[in-house]
Amino acid sequence: MNKRIGRFEIIRELGRGAQSVVYLARDPHLQRQVAIKTLHFSRPDPQQDRRLLEEARLVSQLRHPSIVPIFEAGDEQGDLYLVFQYVPGKNLAEYLQQSGALTPAKAIGIMQPILEAISHAHAAGIIHRDLKPSNILIDDDGVPRVMDFGIATRAEGVSNDGGQLVGTPAYMAPEYISQRTSSESSDVFSAGLVLYELLIGQRAVPGSDIQQVMRTIADEDIRLPPEASHTLDEKLAHLLYQALARDPQNRYASAAQMRQALDDYLQPESLTAPADARQSTIEFLLRRMRHKSDFPALSESVGAINRITASENQSIADVSNTILKDFSLTNKILRMVNSVHYRQAGGGTISTVSRAVVVLGLDAVRSIAITVMLFEHLQNKDNANQLKDEFLRANLAGVLAREISSKGATRGDLEQVFICSMFHNLGRLLSQYYFPEESAEIRRVVLQKECSEEAAALQVLGLSFEDLGIGIAETWGFPKLLVNSMHKLPAGSIRRPATAEDRLRMVASLSNELCTVIVDSAPEQQQKELQRIVTRFGDVIQLDEQELRRTVARSFEQVTQLAGTMHINLQQTRLGKQIRVWRGTATVGGPASEARTTKDEAENGLAGTVLSDIAPEAAACERIAEGGYISPVDAEAASEAILMAGIQDVSNALVSEFKVNDVLRIIVETIYRAKGFKRVILCIRDGRSNTMLGRFGFGPDAAEIARRFKFSLVFTPDIFHAALTNGVDILISDTNDPKITTRIPLWFRKAVTAQTFVVFPLCIKGSPLAMIYADREQAGEIVISEKELSLLRTLRNQAVLAVKQSI
């Protein structure tokens, strides 16, 4: 080791990296200790050296208590070196090795000055580009100091490093990995990775395989491990996820904004100065709910679907992709949309989420998806029977509302009525799930004090079910129209609603009051209670008692069918027993009465028979959805079943009025689901530029990957032109096979990491019009049987037909 670097006397080595060594040294001129970082590159590059020296001069002008300043820079025997203030202590990586995961308060306390430092640098036009724990020093007083802005870049415009990587792969932003672009937002992403490490005690993306680490960051959303739900609440998780959003547009706009979000988390306004007792109680209950392991997941999923459907740029692909991430959820939704109620609207069997959205609309599919998710979270609990009762009761309210409003209403109106009525009593459902003891106490208070349910809830919970439901609905991002419909109507006769919004609220209240009558009324009270409802709503709803009874009877049939679809034994629920009472086939109480079952009840699932309109050939799909074992033979059968159902789906669409994009989306989704591809992309020819352009797809980052599919149709001897020019389907089992590796174009290798893919060209009169691409990650993972290939080609031909009909 040299004794000197420039005029500086080396004392000892402090640490080293792949291209650098850090020394403790003494400045003989100013009689002080300094830290010197030497930079050694494998190939001499005078231009790079000049750039780094210019950046070092810029960074040396930064003055902030949380930034380790650069004193000077120079070169020694062709290697650059930077001279920093020496800060006694240890770096954050070493600190975390000793401490492990930190509490949220302590982690945020460290992040705040770090973000202040980054914000100060950004204001001066400087991006760090290598923010990581080893570049953050913790001094002897415990104060974090950011260092090593030596590879920073100017923030004027966007930097582009071409093919050269600058920084540490595990802390790079997705856009830098995929596009070699970095900006202030890239530092925000890196700050999110540092925060993750502070909270969890380990890197967000572990591993020694650099390429795999970078692929994970570029292609997958970073999420907290399941065990973190016990220590981190939902709000902090959302804060972290916003910093780690792969799309820079979805991150915090600046480091300063992220710092403010952390400040707000530690001292939220609602806790320091609550606006009223109701809001304070909602916050208290929300905190309790967050400790339940599945509330954050449920909240995040519901919120995501609500955000998509509320967006001005509503996208069928966005909704479908969100649902398709969960195979089990997908199958349960398709079961539900093919139930008796929805089948009529769909004009036949619906076998893809994309067609469900086209036929039923975004709002309806949102309702179904959230309903299924709620039900999934309500199962397997100690109070499961009570929860299923509440779930069925909510759905009965929606069905009643739809039946009452069906005369003269459009499909869209009926779906709004159903959704608003189903979620009208969301507070009671959530209370039963998250606070079962308090819910039991509420029922006891109602019986003992003969008071209303809302008054009892106010006494036990500190707020009514109505306020609880509205508070959670607002937290989940439900539309304002739906939230407003959750407000109860005042006592007495109901006046004619002045607006469509008032009518939704009125119908939601009517259906839920009728539900209460059905569930709580003894047989001798039925007539009196129905007459009361007719009197209360008679001025606005043209229903007499007899018509109301017929409406109730029709609704019972639909709820019975729903129970079978959701695999609920209706006879074991309180609602199921009350349905028998209203039908006059049993009396309340007594083992003998409960043992009697009519043929009608057996056919409708009331005797414990599970109804399912899943076709026998789809049984394998069900086993996959439920996590059961499936043999290769069954897997092939499942694939064929999905493909055949998709072909029927497309056929139904083609014989009706259709948009070509909707049909193509159904085809692409069918292929995606059938074969378990990682992603499926549809490309369309652009006639003006004579290029093939990716349009949309399914799978991780499908939209981003589709944008990378762009190549000229001027012939070159590669795989894609061979498929398109000759109109042949091509399966590449291994992109690294020496026999074909030269035929894989460079644009493709930059676009995806998949090692196996299949291409189905869409040609008209020998001219390529479009292309369906599907892939898997590892070589050899795509195996297509002769029957599957025939069905896939049928789907491809349907796509050609759809395009022909649209021209």
Please state, for a pLDDT cut of 70, what percent of the chain lies above it.
74
The answer on 59 and 96 residing in a single domain is no
Rg (CA), the chain: 32
User: Is position 133 within any domain?
Assistant: yes
> For position 709, which CATH number holds?
3.30.450.40
List, for residues 70-103, the tens digit of each pLDDT value. 888 888 877 788 888 898 888 899 989 988 888 8
Contact 81, 6 (CB under 8 A): yes
Report pLDDT for 305.
Answer: 60
The answer on 792 and 736 residing in a single domain is yes
List, for residues 1-18, the tens digit of each pLDDT value. 568 888 999 999 888 776
Eight-class DSSP state of 779: T
Stretch among 457-461, 466-470, 620-624, 738-742 having the lowest mean pLDDT = 620-624
User: Is position 372 within any domain?
Assistant: no
Report pLDDT for 11.
Answer: 93
The answer on 50 and 107 residing in a single domain is no
User: Is position 777 within any domain?
Assistant: yes
Domain ends where: 267, 300, 330? 267
User: Is position 701 within any domain?
Assistant: yes
Of 155, 263, 110, the C-alpha closest to 271 is 263
User: Is position 626 within any domain?
Assistant: no
The answer on 678 and 787 residing in a single domain is yes
The answer on 63 and 9 residing in a single domain is yes
Which residue(s) pair with 275 in the sheet?
A: none
Q: Which residues have CB under 8 Å from 336's CB, separation 6+? A: 342, 368, 371, 372, 562, 565, 566
The number of domains in the chain is: 3
Catalytic residue list contains 140: no
Of residues 354 and 532, the one with the higher pLDDT is: 532
Report pLDDT for 243.
Answer: 94
The tokens of 386 are what?
């009570």
Catalytic residue among 27, 49, 130, 662: 130
User: Is position 469 within any domain?
Assistant: no
The answer on 152 and 40 residing in a single domain is no
Give the angle subtended at the CA of 515 by the CAs of 510 and 518, to the nearest 5°: 130
**Half-sphere exposure of residue 803: CA atoms within 13 angstroms, side-chain side:** 19
The answer on 256 and 190 residing in a single domain is yes
List, for residues 113-128, the tens digit of each pLDDT value. 999 999 998 988 888 8
The pLDDT-based confidence of 589 (bands split at 50, 70, 90) is: very low
In Å, how far are 60, 131, 144, 259 from 114, measured between CA atoms? Answer: 18, 10, 7, 9
> For position 13, which CATH number holds?
3.30.200.20
In Å, how far are 245, 619, 668, 723, 751 from 702, measured between CA atoms? Answer: 16, 29, 12, 22, 11
User: Is position 768 within any domain?
Assistant: yes
Task: Please state, as a whole number, how many other Cβ atoms lie within 10 Å of the Cβ of residue 339.
Answer: 17
Q: How far is CA 355 from the centre of its chain?
A: 20
Across 550-572, average pLDDT:
78
Across 362-371, average pLDDT:
66
Contact 527, 544 (CB under 8 A): no
The tokens of 523 are what?
């047989």
Q: How far is CA 460 from the centre of its chain?
A: 34
Report pLDDT for 270.
Answer: 38
User: Is position 391 within any domain?
Assistant: no
The answer on 157 and 33 residing in a single domain is no
Domain ends where: 267, 282, 304? 267
Cα–Cα dist 729/721, whole Å:
11
The answer on 727 and 670 residing in a single domain is yes
List, for residues 103-113, the tens digit of each pLDDT value. 888 899 999 99
Domain ends where: 240, 267, 294? 267
Report pLDDT for 304.
Answer: 60
Could you tell me the residue range of the domain that residue 176 belongs to? 89-267
Of 486, 798, 487, 511, the C-alpha closest to 667 is 798
The pLDDT-based confidence of 342 (bands split at 50, 70, 90) is: low
